[in-house]
Chains A and B, each alone.
Chain A
Amino acid sequence: MNAIRAIGGILKGMSVTFREMFRPTIVENYPDGAGPYKGARFEPRFRGLHVLQRDESGLEKCVACFLCAAACPSNCIYIEAAENTAERRISGAERYAEVYNIDYNRCIFCGFCVEACPTDAITHGHGFELATFNASNLVYRKEQLLAPMPKEIQSAVQREELRAHAPEMAH
Chain B
Amino acid sequence: MADVTITIDGNKVTAPAGTLLIEVCKSIGTEVPAFCYYPGLSLQAACRMCLVEIEKMPKMQTACTVPISEGMVVHTTTDKVRQARKSTLEFLLGNHPLDCPVCDAGGECELQDMTFSYGAAESKFMEAKLHRDEQQWSPVVFFDRPRCILCYRCVRVCGEAMDVWALGVQNRGSASIIAPNEGDHLECEECGMCIDICPVGALTSGAYRYKTRPWEMKHVGTTCMHCGDGCKTTLGVRRHETGMQIVRGDNRDKSGINGDFLCIKGRYAFDVTHSDERLTQPLVRHEGRLTPATWEAALELVASTFKRIRDEHGGSAIGVIGSNRTTNEENYLLQKFARVVLGSNNIDHHRTADFPALAAALKNTQVRTAGMRDVFNAKTILLIGNNPTDQHPLLAWQIRNNVRLHKARLFVVNAQDIKLHRQATAFAQVPSGSEAFAAAFLAGNDSVGESVGGDARNALLAMRQALKGAEEAVVIFGSEIRGAQVKAAVNLASALNAKIACLGDYANSRGAADMGLYPDLLPGYAQTSSEIFTGHWGALPEQPGWNIEQMVNAARDGQLRALLCVGSNPVVRYNVDPFVLQKTFLVVNEMFMTETASLATVVLPAACAYEKSGTFTNTMGDLQVVKKAGDLAGTKPDFEIVIEIADRMGFDVRKLVSLGGGTRADMGQSRGAQTGEADRHAVWLEAQNLEPRMTPFDPAAVLDEIQRLVPGYGEASRLNVAAGNDEHTTALEAGQGSATSDPDLVVPSEDTLFTSGTLGRYSNTLHSVIESRRKVPADKKTPV
Contact = CB atoms under 8 A, between A and B. Distances in A.
Contacts of A81: 210-212
B215 A64 contact: no
Contacts of B101: 63, 65, 67, 93, 118-119
Contact of B210 (A67, A83, A119): A83
The winner among B101, B209, B212 for most chain A CB atoms within 10 A is B101
A109 B399 CA distance: 58
Interface string B85-115: 0000000000000011110001000000000
A69 B106 CA distance: 14
Contacts of B285: none
Interface string B210-243: 1111011000000000000000000000000000
A65 B112 CA distance: 15
Interface size bracket, B side? 10 to 19
Given A93-B101, A118-B101, A119-B101, A65 B210 contact: no
A124 interface: no
A64 B216 contact: no
Contacts of B211: 81
Given A65-B101, A65-B102, A65-B106, A94 B215 contact: no
B102 A95 contact: yes
Interface string A83-110: 1000000000111000000000000000
A83 B211 CA distance: 8
Given A67-B101, A118-B101, A119-B101, A95 B210 contact: yes
A70 interface: yes
Interface in B45-101: 99-101
A63 B102 contact: yes
A70 B215 contact: yes
A66 B210 contact: no
Interface string B181-218: 00000000000000000000000000001111101100
B246 to A, nearest CB: 15
A156 interface: no
B398 to A, nearest CB: 36
Contacts of A95: 102, 210
A69 B102 contact: no
Contacts of B212: 66, 81
A67 B106 CA distance: 10
B213 A93 contact: no
B213 A66 contact: yes
A17 to B, nearest CB: 58
A162 interface: no
A82 interface: yes
A66 B216 contact: yes
Nearest to B214: A66
The CB with the most chain A CB atoms within 10 A, among B210, B212, B216, is that of B210
Contacts of B106: 65
9 contacts: A63-B102, A65-B213, A69-B216, A83-B209, A93-B102, A94-B99, A94-B102, A118-B100, A119-B101
Given A63-B101, A64-B102, 19 more contacts: A64-B210, A65-B102, A65-B106, A66-B212, A66-B213, A66-B216, A70-B213, A70-B216, A81-B210, A83-B209, A83-B210, A93-B101, A94-B99, A94-B102, A94-B134, A94-B210, A118-B100, A118-B101, A119-B101
Interface of B: 99-102, 106, 134, 209-213, 215-216
